[in-house]
Amino acid sequence: MAIQSPSLDLTAGAGTGVRLTPVAITRGYWQSVARRLRRDPVTLVCGVVLLLVVASALAAPWLGLSDPYKTSMIRRLYPIGSPNFLLGTDELGRDMFSRLIYGGRLSLFMGVTPVVLALLIGGFLGITAGFLGGRVNMLIMRIMDVFYAFPSVLLAISLSGAMGAGAENTLLALTLVFIPPICRVSESVTTQVRGFDFVEAARASGAGTLTIVRVHVLGNVLGPILVYATSLISVAIILAAGLSFLGLGVKPPEPEWGLMLNTLRQAIYVNPVLAALPGVMIFITSICFNLMSDGLRAAMDVKA
Amino acid sequence: MLLYALRRLIYLGPVAFGVSLLVFALVHLAPGDPISAIVPPDTPKEVVDKLKEYYGFDKPLPVQYVRWLLVTLSGDFGTSIGTGRPVSQEVGSAFGNTIILAIAACCLAFSLAIFLGTAAAYAKSRIVDRLVTSIALVGVSVPHFWLAIVLVIIFSVELGMLPPMGLGPENATGWRLDWPHIRHMILPTIALSVIPLGVMTRTVRSTIKEILSMEFVTALQAKGMNDRQILLHVLKNAAPVCLAVMGLQAGNLIGGSILIETVFSC
Amino acid sequence: MDSVLSVDRGGPAQPLLLAKNLRKHFPIPGGLLGRATRVVRAVDDLTLSVAKGETLGVVGESGCGKSTVARLLMRLIKPDRGTMILDGDPVDEPHGITVNELRRHVQMVFQDSYASLNPRLTIVETLAFAPKAHGLPHAEARGRSRDLLAKVGLEPDTFADRYPHELSGGQRQRVNIARALALRPRLVILDEAVSALDKSVEAQVLNMLVDLKDEFGLTYVFISHDLNVVQYLSDRVLVMYLGKIVEIGDVEAIYGKPQHPYTRALLSARPTMDPRRRTQEAPIQGDPPNPIDPPSGCRFRTRCPFAESVCAGTEPVLADTGKQSVACLMYVPGSGHSKAA
């Protein structure tokens, strides 16, 4: 009665005299996702660029850069390519290259942390709402609707404005902004998975709720939630920079890309290219995160 | 259907209540109290207390909330204690400009996005599709306030074609639909429209692609309908999703324009 | 793992599973505030017993409540009313057994072989899940799972570490059957378990089900819309219409001498291989009525060729007519129906 697997007959080169090598066809889901990612040049390049930005930001103090806080009244707004100042100097004579590298620390931190926090909180709330359904779902999702009533940019600006400038308040505001969308996505994928027969079958086996969630639900919902969260990172980076640009985020003299854009605005007539540089950094990281998210989505989308 | 709409409206009640609570909380999150913000720092405490009593700031927060809610619901937004002018008037003039800008950006972004997205979904050549998806990607990734600066640098500083800031010609009061005013709006509108353009192009493209792969399209083709008639069916089916995303984007434009207006403010 | 309940308690005469007056109405959210104003009467006052070692076939059109019955018997959904007794022990009652204990002895195979397997787990992980949830050590659970794979005709070395998408539909359904057997149940509910398979594969799986039944001493509740398959597998057959039993009896009686007009119509609609035995009886017309507002009296009367005014007023109850029980006024003496004795 044993049935031969049809896939075994598909070994390459069958019948052509080529030596048959049994192919290991069984591969875990995450393994095959990783393999597809490795074969995606765009995602790879983006990954490398992001790795460079993150690594240089983290290692900034040990890279032998000049002091990003050291001002000088005599060497203000040096053009790009000046000796000793590869990317020139800003309106207070500080080294631009050094400030751009150092700026990555705060800018990336302010972009990634809120999404991670919102992923933990919103993901937990959404999965709970989706799995339990009923009144719990109603309560959680209606509260989320309240936050959803505000456009995200407006909510971030008004929260930051109300709580006052500062990195902590920006983090808090952005986390609050990203919890509702992540919660909503988590809730909808969990509701979908909960309806599958394999969850019914698990319930029929008499397993406890927590065991079912851990073994059968999480494995199937974390992927889509994660993809969605990575797509939010680029929004978060832009929003965080935007808040600093408005003076609602990081306070001077900290190097941060959004804040640098703001303070360099007065220099657009003197040294326009220099004035646009911090935005280039925001743009590059945000586009890389977006492409990574697209690549991840594509890699995880394939069923078989 | 009518019942469904009514039920949704009733659900709106608790949400609206939550929103009002949130707005009220936002105001009271602000550090310091509003009286200390307008009086000189050396004002005697009795005077400050008197003022607080006058404006009702001495009452407990729930009382303040109910008072505020009732007054606001009756359409009276109160008078700014900073300037003494009615709040509606104060916010209104600024909000009017934001709305004009947001509407212009909406029109630009949505019309372009529907065209580009549909073109990409229908495109037989990979190049068109690639081009459109790249534009969309840039749209969703670019910090629009930076783009505004770059636009100013290129068109105002370097080329001197368009004004770098302001709402209209100097000494002009209010907004009018004439060339000098429109000239001032070109750059902010472009900058403001990139994000919705990117998001909407992606949405339109993927929605239409999905619909095109459905079997009813094959059935319509088999029936002998021509491409234009089929496109009508496809667009009709894509409309609900796209309109929903458009609504969200339009809301975001109002928030996003704060950043753009900062760039172009004098 | 094997509790006292695994051994036969009531002896052969005690039905393995008795369900009395089971009722499930699903509320439909409606009205202004989302309150349920109307209900779908999915299962209405259903009473059945499953004898030890038999196969009870359940047939009926789609939407007649077959799957709801399956889920009720497994307690995947809670009945609004009614009692269940498993081999003498009431279920979910103070002096009876818990729902969890019921689920150890009653297992189920779902129709959609793909949706009923977790795509992120290997076959052996899926099979070992239930035994592990009931406290079996990891290694032992895996060992049992591999044995089960062999029992359902899948070579353990080849299939144990595969993922569901690497299997064919028939192979996946074998895995689902193995999963149902993993807790050593006494009763297995097969809800359209072979309906989605190719005919050739279906035959293999059916034969396997017969073999497994003998080997493990199982009892089946076999739900299907395929009358031929039910005839092949079942000892007794239950015919459902709009959440109610219309006829129940031995397979020979039901197929040989169907009495309820609905059963007759169903059987006559069956295509036959023999050109000399063309169907004479007219098939039933139209779709079943909406279970939200089922017809008064006999629920089949709107499509019944013998319906009379009395059918609208009196609801027929199941009555013994010798070899089977029928819920039809034509078989109730003195009911007022012109065909009644």
pLDDT of residue B81: 65
Please indicate whether residue B57 or residue A237 has the higher confidence score (pLDDT): A237
Is the Cβ pair A2, C154 closer than 8 Å? yes
Q: How far apart are CA A192 and CA A224, in angstroms?
A: 12
Q: How far apart are CA A142 and CA B97, in angstroms?
A: 33
pLDDT of residue B169: 61
Nearest to A265 among B31, B144, B149 (CB): B149
Report, as ranges of residue numbers, the positions in chain A whose pLDDT lies below 70.
Answer: 1-27, 302-304
Is the Cβ pair A206, C155 closer than 8 Å? no
Would you say residue B38 has pLDDT above 60? yes
Question: Among B21-30, B168-177, B234-243, C53-62, which stretch is predicted with the lowest mean pLDDT?
Answer: B168-177
Would you say residue B160 has pLDDT above 80? no
- Interacting residues of B77 by C-beta distance below 8 A, sequence separation 6+: B86, B87, B88, B91
Pick from B180, B179, B197: nearest CA to B134: B197
Q: How far apart are CA A154 and CA A173, in angstroms?
A: 11
pLDDT tens-digit series, residues B163-204 = 777 666 665 566 666 777 778 888 889 999 999 999 999 999
Q: How far apart are CA C227 and CA C234, in angstroms?
A: 10
How close does chain B come to A297, measured CA to CA in Å?
14
Other beta carbons within 10 angstroms of residue B146's beta carbon come to 28
Q: Which range in A185-189, B92-96, B246-250, C290-294 is most confidently predicted, on average pLDDT?
A: A185-189
Q: How many domains does chain A have?
A: 1
CATH number at residue A165: 1.10.3720.10
pLDDT of residue A21: 41
Could you tell me the two tokens for B124?
Answer: 């037989």
Is residue A213 in a domain? Answer: yes
Listing DSSP states for chain A in one string gives -----GGGGG-TTTTTTPPP--------HHHHHHHHHHT-HHHHHHHHHHHHHHHHHHTGGGTTPPPTT---STTTTPPTTBTTBTT-B-TTS-BHHHHHHHHHHHHHHHHHHHHHHHHHHHHHHHHHHHHH-HHHHHHHHHHHHHHHTS-HHHHHHHHHHHH-SSHHHHHHHHHHHHHHHHHHHHHHHHHHHHTSHHHHHHHHTT--HHHHIIIIIHHHHHHHHHHHHHHHHHHHHHHHHHHHHTTSSSPTTS--HHHHHHHGGGGTTT-HHHHHHHHHHHHHHHHHHHHHHHHHHHHHH---
- Per CB-CB distance under 8 Å, the chain A contacts of C133 are 205-208, 211
Whether the Cβ atoms of residue A174 and residue A156 lie closer than 8 Å to each other: yes
Is the Cβ pair C33, B6 closer than 8 Å? no
Nearest to B153 among A145, A146, A272 (CB): A272
Contacts of the segment C302-305: beta carbons below 8 A, 24+ positions apart: C303/C262, C304/C261, C304/C262, C305/C261
Please indicate whether residue A65 or residue B115 has the higher confidence score (pLDDT): B115
Nearest to B142 among A156, A275, A283 (CB): A283
Is residue A204 in a domain? Answer: yes
Range of the structural domain that residue A51 is part of = 27-300
Whether the Cβ atoms of residue B254 and residue A154 lie closer than 8 Å to each other: yes
Which of C120, C138, C190, C191 is most worth mutating to test chain A (most A CB atoms within 10 A of its CB)? C120
pLDDT of residue B30: 66
Provide the strand spans (E) within chain C. Answer: 17-29, 36-50, 55-59, 81-86, 89-90, 106-109, 187-191, 219-223, 236-241, 244-250, 319-320, 324-326
Which of A248, A283, A288, A289 is most worth mutating to test chain B (most B CB atoms within 10 A of its CB)? A283
Could you tell me the two tokens for B7?
Answer: 């039920």
Residue of B nearest to A263 (CA): B263
List the subunits that have 3+ CB pairs under 8 angstroms with C: A, B
pLDDT of residue B174: 62
Is the Cβ pair B262, A163 closer than 8 Å? no
Is residue A3 in a domain? Answer: no
- Per CB-CB distance under 8 Å, the chain A contacts of C116 are 196-198, 200-201
pLDDT cut 70: percent of chain B above it: 88
How close does chain B come to A13, measured CA to CA in Å?
33
The residues of A whose Cβ lies within 8 A of any Cβ of C are: 1-3, 5-8, 25-29, 196-198, 200-208, 211, 215-216, 219-220, 303-304
Which of C32, C37, C38 is most worth mutating to test chain B (most B CB atoms within 10 A of its CB)? C32
The edge-to-edge listing of strands for the beta sheet with C17-29 is C36-50, C17-29, C81-86, C89-90
How many CA atoms does the CB half-sphere of A10 hold within 13 Å? 6
pLDDT of residue A304: 37
- Interacting residues of C83 by C-beta distance below 8 A, sequence separation 6+: C19, C20, C21, C90, C91, C93
Other beta carbons within 10 angstroms of residue B159's beta carbon come to 9
Residue of C nearest to A217 (CA): C118
Is residue A17 in a domain? Answer: no
pLDDT of residue A290: 92
Could you tell me the two tokens for C26?
Answer: 């699903």
pLDDT tens-digit series, residues B219-237 = 988 888 888 888 888 989 8
- Interacting residues of B123 by C-beta distance below 8 A, sequence separation 6+: B129, B132
- Per CB-CB distance under 8 Å, the chain B contacts of A245 are 145, 259, 262
Distances (CA, A) of C207 to B10, C200, C202: 57, 11, 9
pLDDT tens-digit series, residues C253-292 = 999 889 999 998 888 877 766 766 665 656 677 777 887 8
pLDDT of residue C7: 61
Is residue A118 in a domain? Answer: yes
- Per CB-CB distance under 8 Å, the chain A contacts of B153 are 268, 272-273, 275-276
Would you say residue C6 has pLDDT above 60? no
Q: What sign for the dihedral angle of Cα B140, B143, B144, B149? A: negative
Is the Cβ pair B145, A153 closer than 8 Å? no
ipTM of the complex: 0.82
Is the Cβ pair B153, A155 closer than 8 Å? no
Mean pLDDT of B8-15: 79
pLDDT tens-digit series, residues C294-327 = 888 888 888 888 888 888 888 888 888 888 899 9
Pick from A288, A234, A265, A251: nearest CA to A115: A234
Residue of B nearest to C35 (CA): B7
Other beta carbons within 10 angstroms of residue C28's beta carbon come to 12
pLDDT tens-digit series, residues C164-220 = 888 988 999 999 999 999 989 999 999 988 888 888 889 999 999 999 999 999 999
How close does chain C come to B6, measured CA to CA in Å?
7
Q: What sign for the dihedral angle of Cα B215, B221, B224, B228? A: positive
List the subunits that have 3+ CB pairs under 8 angstroms with B: A, C
Residues A147-162, buried b or exposed e (16+ Cβ, 10 A)? bbbbbbbbbbbbbbbb
Could you tell me the two tokens for C169?
Answer: 């539909």
pLDDT of residue A23: 42
pLDDT of residue A29: 75
- Per CB-CB distance under 8 Å, the chain C contacts of B3 are 30-32
Q: What is the pTM of this model?
A: 0.83
Residue of C nearest to B11 (CA): C33
Given 3-state DSSP classes, what are the helix, strand and coil percentages for chain C, each rounded to the nearest 5? 35, 20, 45
Amino acid letter for position C151: K
Tell me if the domain spanning C13-120+163-331 has CATH number 3.40.50.12780. no
